[in-house]
Amino acid sequence: MRINKLISTNGNVSLIEAVMPERGAVRVYVPTDALRGEYIDEFDVQSGIEYGVPWEEVLVTMMPEGAAARLAKLLRDDQLYTANDVRQAPAKVAAILQRLWQADASRILLLATRYEKGELK
């Protein structure tokens, strides 16, 4: 898998950013010797120690099922990994929430329209 960013290296450990298909961009600490130029084995990324807030675990306590994972991906896609990142970019968080709920509102509207047309029962 391709590495988006090599953020830092400290001896035997490197902090990288890579895109996981199901989660979007993640930052993880991995062994430096696992890096192969711009690439790393997906297993090494999955086995690495994640950097930042585990958004899925935190957000699931306040959101409907499935929404936390979608919001976590959107947060990481906009480079929001820590509480400090969120503190420094509240407008980004507001925009992300608007995108998330707009998508849900669009789906609700679609389903309601299909129901009114008799396509759903």
pLDDT of the residue at 59 = 72
DSSP line for the chain: -BEEEEEEEETTEEEEEEEETTTEEEEEEEEGGG-BTTB--HHHHHHSEEPS--HHHHHTTTS-TTHHHHHHHHHHHTT--SHHHHHH-HHHHHHHHHHHHHHHHHHHHHHHHHHHTTS--
pLDDT of the residue at 64 = 73
Show pLDDT as tens, one digit a residue, over the chain (121 residues).
Answer: 999 999 999 999 999 999 988 888 999 999 999 999 999 999 999 999 999 888 877 777 667 778 888 899 999 999 999 999 999 999 999 999 888 877 677 877 787 888 888 886 5
pLDDT of the residue at 103 = 67
